[in-house]
Structure formats: structure tokens, C-alpha cells
Amino acid sequence: MSEGWNVLEVVLRAVAVLAAFLVLPLLVGQTEHKVMAHMQGRLGPMYAGGFHGWAQLVADAVKFIQKEDITPARADRGVFRLAPFVALIPYLVAMAVVPLSPTIVGADVPGSALLVLAATGVGIIGTLMGGWASASKYSMLGAMRAAAQLVSYELPMVLAVASVALAAGTLSMVGIAEAWTPWWLLWQAPGAFVFLVAALAELQRPPFDMPIADSELVFGIFTEYTGLRFAFFLLAEYAGIVLFSLIFSVLWLGGWAGPFEAGLGWLWTILKAYAIAVLMIWLRVSWPRLREDQLQRLAWVWLVPIALLQLAITAVGVVMMR
């Protein structure tokens, strides 16, 4: 009997994670539509669904489903068709271990911070596959840029997470959030900054959207994609925003720490993550795009040294407070 209950629990948890994975990115996407529009003196979607275009993304999804699924004749068929899933699924895996509160978590594993970093690192392979398999020069250049970008954000990101893990003395995200105190806002601020910049680069969001760069590479790696596969790449991007905002919220903003923590902890985590997502949107609205080599310069001249310095500061802090 208990065997059956366990299976049911796993299934329910998986469904819940999947639901969050499908709904939260739409929320961020709709926010982007509206926030960006109002920052630019526009209204954004106003018709779909009636009230302020709330169903715009649902309508978009319906449209994407109807589109013909084209694989270019000279594309590497299998790789081309697989790529969007390779880009998308790692984020789903990572989402499963990100806690909203000590109890609300898909799967509470001891080294969740490590697992999240490892899983998200795989997503980029989908991008590279798509770029390579498209048999298009623009896609190829985009993929090369994505690869070049990879070397600049992975290290700072890992170092930034290492710092909070060191501060909390655990690799469990729940453990890190439990160990968080408001004092971290100052103590871990450099690391937080590094993580945020690196996350933007990993997500290929402006100002680091060089692999897509619509004005330079048409649409970079996504140039040849249509319909649902294209939609999956887009979903991967927004799922990525949700994921990294949640990670930021849990690791640097204390996640569920706030008034009525016991009951409303999950809401605090989500609200904090939402603020970070809006920040990412805001950056997209305000800034132009950097050049690939400029991102690398930024990473190696600023992000890596700052992250290392943060690690040293954290180490000193941990020793002194013990």
C-alpha cells in the first residue's frame, strides 16, 4: 500500500513541477509584454482574452501549434529536431529541485545547488545543436557566439554560488535559504551582482543576446526554426528567466524569509523572484547589446575577479563568525 502512495506522490510532485514550469514562464512573458509596452509608451496586447490581453501568450501558443514544422533540406535532421528539447528539458529538471519553501519543493535533494548548476549548464548544448544542425550560416555564427559566451559566464556563476554555499555551509538550497540572514544582502552583494550578470548571459537576454542578435544574425540560432520547435526555444528562454530568478530569490534574498513565513513563505519566494524577473525585463528595455568580445572582457576582467574576491570575503566572514 505505501508503495502505491509513494508512486502517487512522485507523480503528483512531477505534475506540479510541470504545471509550474508551463505557467510561470507565461506569467513572465505576459509581464514582459506589458511592462515593456508601458515603458515604451505603448499599451501592449489589449485584445486576446478580453481583459488587457491576458491571453495573448495562449493565443501565441495556439498560433505556434498551427504553424508548419519545417526542417531545412540540408539540416542535420535528427539533431535539428532534437535541439529544442535539449534546450528546454534541463530547465525542467532544475526546476524540480528549486524550493519555494522548506516544504514546497519538487524533490528535496542534499546537493540541490550543485544539481541546478549542472542541469542548467546542459541547456546550452541545445542551442549549439540547433545552430550547428540548421545548415545556415547565420545559425552557425549564432552557435559559435553562444559557445564563446559559454566560457564567460559559467565560471563566474559557479563561483558566485560557491560563495553562498560556503557561507551557509551546505549545498542544499533549502539549507542555504534557512541559513540566510538580512546581513547577507550586504555581505553577499558582490556575488549576487556577478550571478545576475552571468544569468543574463546564460539566458542570452539583452544586453547579452549576441547569439540571437536579430539585427546582425537575422535570428541567430533560431533562424531556421518554425512552429512548435521555435516556441520551445522561446519557452526555454522564459523558463530560464523563472528558474534563475527563483535561484536568485532563494540563494541571495532568503527565499521564504518574510512576514508570516510559516504560511506564506512560498509567496515571498515567488514575489522576490518576480521582482528579479522584472529587473531582467527592465534591462532589456533600456540597454543596447554588447559585442561578444566585450562580454568576455567583462567576464574575465570584472566578473571572475569580483567572484573570487567575494569567495575570499565569505571565507573570512565564515571564519570570524564561527
Partner 1 sequence: MTETAVSHRSSRQRALTVGVGAGGLATADMVLNIGPQHPATHGVLRLRIVVDGERIVTAEPIIGYMHRGAEKLFEVRDYRQIVVLANRHDWLSAFSNELGVVLGVEQMLGMEVPERAVWARTALAELNRVLSHLMFLGSYPLELGAITPVFYAFREREELQAVLEEVSGGRMHYMFNRVGGLKEDLPAGWLGRVDKAIVNVRKRLPSLEHLLVGNEILEARTKGVGVLARETALSYGVSGPIARASGVDVDLRRDAPYLAYGELFGPNGPGRVVTREAGDSLARLEVLLEQTRVSLDIAEACLDRLIQLQPGPINVKLPKVLKVPEGEIYCATENPLGFNGYFLVSRGDKTPWRLKLRSASFNNVAVLTEMLPGQLISDMVSILGSMFFVVGDVDK
Provide the binding-site residues for partner 1, judged by CB under 8 A: 36, 39-42, 137, 141, 144-145, 206-207, 209-210, 213-218, 284-294, 297
Smallest distance from the beta carbon of 11 to partner 1, in angstroms? 42
The DSSP output letter for 211 is T
Q: Which is nearer to partner 1, 102 or 296 (CB)?
A: 296
Q: Provide the 10 A C-beta neighbour count for residue 279.
A: 14
Smallest distance from the beta carbon of 29 to partner 1, in angstroms? 16
Distance CA 255, CA 175 (A): 11
Element (H, E) at 101: none
Determine contact, residues 230/83, Cβ cutoff 8 Å: no
Smallest distance from the beta carbon of 305 to partner 1, in angstroms? 15
Distance CA 160, CA 244 (A): 13
Element (H, E) at 207: none
Q: Which is nearer to partner 1, 75 or 119 (CB)?
A: 75
Smallest distance from the beta carbon of 180 to partner 1, in angstroms? 32
Smallest distance from the beta carbon of 67 to partner 1, in angstroms? 20
Smallest distance from the beta carbon of 297 to partner 1, in angstroms? 5
Q: Which is nearer to partner 1, 103 or 286 (CB)?
A: 286
Return the amino acid letter for 18.
L
Q: Which is nearer to partner 1, 221 or 251 (CB)?
A: 221
- 148 CB burial (10 A radius; 0-12, 13-18, 19+): middle
Task: Check residue 86 and give left, alpha or beta (phi > 0: left; psi -120 to 50: alpha).
Answer: alpha
Q: Which is nearer to partner 1, 56 or 249 (CB)?
A: 56
Distance CA 116, CA 149 (A): 19
Smallest distance from the beta carbon of 190 to partner 1, in angstroms? 19
Distance CA 294, CA 306 (A): 17
Which residues in 63-94 are b (16+ Cβ under 10 Å) and which e?
ebeeeeeebbeebbeeebbbbbebbbbbbbbb
Q: Which is nearer to partner 1, 172 or 223 (CB)?
A: 223
The phi, psi pair for 224, rounded to 5°, reads -90, -5
Q: Which is nearer to partner 1, 19 or 297 (CB)?
A: 297
Measured at the CA of 154, the angle between CA 151 and CA 159, to 5 degrees, comes to 130
Q: Which is nearer to partner 1, 199 or 217 (CB)?
A: 217
